[in-house]
Each structure stands twice: as structure tokens, then as C-alpha cells.
């Protein structure tokens, strides 16, 4: 079982603590961007693990990758940080939020991985199921129907049953001094403090797990606002344009 961590990614920066959705000004925008960047990284990590470990048939890949992004937040973050990140990323990935945007067009990342309302509610329920007592009010405020809440712990348990063997295996590889660290290569600069956010997140992940098969994270210019997994290269590509897009959506909230 991996330990629950308060990943101090943002604590090393001269910003507010992680998850400051309700803060004001540039600090709030940085926190919003960081939350959505890390959630997208987790989603890409899900795709990479599914592909390299042959975990799911094609029609289930998107669902399982999305589930992993929620499970990692639940597993790694203390409760307040998890709730703050859920607030930021719920607005960042939901179809309702994109439909309200007038100043910024939806990104290619959102077109590929963004949730329709049904999947959006599924992810809210999944998050709630990890701690129903403390998260019920939050997910209800984000639109989940109260009638669905009693079944959320079962949905969480089912998702954990799928992913826990994978996460435990990666933890065991780390403890045994085997496997491969997640590596990052920067070919372009991310705006704001996000380079450090991404680097420290990967460093934190490497303190608790190792990959069964190697792959890396590449920061580069892509000429589209996206984060995507390239199976032939075994690379998660973090596009500078995607982070720029997140700052633009943060400004327009």
C-alpha cells in the first residue's frame, strides 16, 4: 500500500500552498494551472501504463486513464489538498465549464480527453467514494445528484480493484531497487512556475514507485494545446501551448 502523502510540489515555490482555488490574483491562477497540469499528467500516466503493461482493451482506455487521475489524487494527497485540486480540475475538464467559455476555445487535449457530463459525474462520484463523509458536500456543489451518493463507495472500490495491483507493483519495484524511474526532459520552457511544479511532481512520484517498463515525460512546443501519449516513442508529451491555454482559461474564469 502506498503511503498517503502531502505532495509538497507547490510548497517549494514562492506561491500559496497547493490547491488555492479561492485565492485571488496570480496565485490563484498559478494554483489552477498547476492542478490541471498535474491532473493531465496523471491522465497521461494512465495511458502510458495501460499501453506499456497491456492493461485494458481499447474501448476502456479512456475510462481507466481518467479513473487513475482521480485515484492518484485520492491516494497521494491529504484531504484539503485533494479537495482543492478536485475543485480546480472539475472546472478544468467538465463539458459544462468549456461550454461556458467565450474567450477561449476548447483545447485539442480537451477534445481528446475532456469529459462529457456522464463521465464528469462518474469522476465526481469516484472521488466522493474515497471519502464520502468529507467529500459529499463538495461533489454535490459540483453537480452530482444526491441520489447517486450512496453508490459512490462501491464505484471507488471497483476502480481501486483495477488499479491497486498496478500501483502496488510499482511500489514494490521501488522497494526492491528495480524498475525504471519516470524521467523528464525539457526541450522548451513552461510558463510561470510550472516547470518546477512538473519537475518536483515527478521527483515525488519517483520516491515511492518505479515503472515496470521505461517511458518518459517530454516538455516541448507542439503548436497545439495538448498533452498526449506517443506509444511508439514511449513518451508523454507536455505541450507548452497547453499550459499557456490553461493560463488563458484561468484569466477568463
For 63-99, the pLDDT digits (tens) are: 888 899 899 999 889 999 999 988 888 755 553 344 4
pLDDT band at 160 (very low <50, low <70, confident <90, very high): very high
- The whole-number pLDDT of residue 57 equals 67
d(C-alpha 181, C-alpha 32), whole Å: 27
- The whole-number pLDDT of residue 55 equals 86
- The whole-number pLDDT of residue 28 equals 84
The pLDDT of residue 101 is above 50: no
Q: For residues 95 and 244, which has the higher predicted lDDT (pLDDT)?
A: 244
Q: For residues 148 and 7, which has the higher predicted lDDT (pLDDT)?
A: 148
Q: Which residues contact 93 (CB under 8 A, 6 or more apart)?
A: 36, 39, 110, 113, 114, 115, 120, 123
The pLDDT of residue 206 is above 90: yes
- The whole-number pLDDT of residue 91 equals 54
- The whole-number pLDDT of residue 63 equals 85
Furthest CA-CA distance within the chain: 51
Average pLDDT of the chain to the nearest whole number: 81
The pLDDT of residue 18 is above 60: no
Across the range 96-109, mean pLDDT stands at 44
The pLDDT of residue 128 is above 50: yes
- The whole-number pLDDT of residue 59 equals 55
Is the pTM higher than 0.85? The answer reads no
- The whole-number pLDDT of residue 163 equals 94
Q: Which residues contact 181 (CB under 8 A, 6 or more apart)?
A: 206, 210, 211
Across the range 102-113, mean pLDDT stands at 46
227-230 and 216-220 strand pairing: unpaired
pLDDT band at 15 (very low <50, low <70, confident <90, very high): very low
The pLDDT of residue 137 is above 70: yes
The pLDDT of residue 49 is above 70: yes
- The whole-number pLDDT of residue 95 equals 39
Across the range 210-227, mean pLDDT stands at 94
Q: For residues 82 and 5, which has the higher predicted lDDT (pLDDT)?
A: 82
Across the range 201-206, mean pLDDT stands at 95
Cβ proximity of 38 and 200 under 8 Å: no
Cβ proximity of 16 and 10 under 8 Å: yes
Mean pLDDT highest for which of 3-12, 101-110, 222-231? 222-231
Amino acid at each position: 500500500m502506498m503511503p498517503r502523502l502531502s505532495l509538497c510540489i507547490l510548497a517549494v515555490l514562492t506561491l500559496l500552498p497547493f490547491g488555492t482555488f479561492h485565492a485571488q490574483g496570480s496565485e490563484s491562477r498559478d494554483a489552477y494551472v498547476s492542478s490541471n497540469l498535474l491532473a493531465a499528467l496523471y491522465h497521461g500516466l494512465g495511458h502510458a501504463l495501460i499501453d506499456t503493461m497491456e492493461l485494458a482493451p481499447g474501448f476502456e482506455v479512456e475510462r481507466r486513464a481518467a479513473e487513475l487521475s482521480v485515484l492518484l489524487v485520492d491516494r497521494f494527497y491529504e484531504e484539503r489538498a485533494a479537495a482543492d485540486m478536485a475543485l480546480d480540475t472539475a472546472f478544468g475538464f467538465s463539458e459544462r465549464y468549456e461550454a461556458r467559455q467565450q474567450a477561449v476555445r476548447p483545447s485539442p487535449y480537451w477534445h481528446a480527453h475532456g469529459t462529457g457530463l456522464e463521465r464528469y459525474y462518474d469522476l465526481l462520484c469516484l472521488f466522493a467514494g474515497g471519502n464520502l463523509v468529507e467529500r459529499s458536500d463538495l461533489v454535490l456543489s459540483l453537480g452530482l445528484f444526491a441520489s447517486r451518493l450512496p453508490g459512490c463507495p462501491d464505484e471507488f472500490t471497483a476502480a481501486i480493484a483495477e488499479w491497486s495491483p498496478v500501483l502496488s507493483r510499482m511500489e514494490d519495484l521501488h522497494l526492491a531497487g528495480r524498475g525504471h524511474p519516470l524521467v523528464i526532459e525539457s526541450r522548451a520552457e513552461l510558463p510561470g512556475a510550472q516547470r518546477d511544479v512538473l519537475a518536483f511532481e515527478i521527483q515525488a512520484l519517483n520516491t515511492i514507485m518505479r515503472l515496470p517498463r521505461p517511458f518518459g515525460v517530454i516538455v516541448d512546443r507542439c503548436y497545439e494545446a495538448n498533452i498526449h501519449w506517443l506509444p511508439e516513442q514511449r513518451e508523454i508529451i507536455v505541450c507548452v501551448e497547453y499550459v499557456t491555454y490553461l493560463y488563458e482559461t484561468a484569466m477568463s474564469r
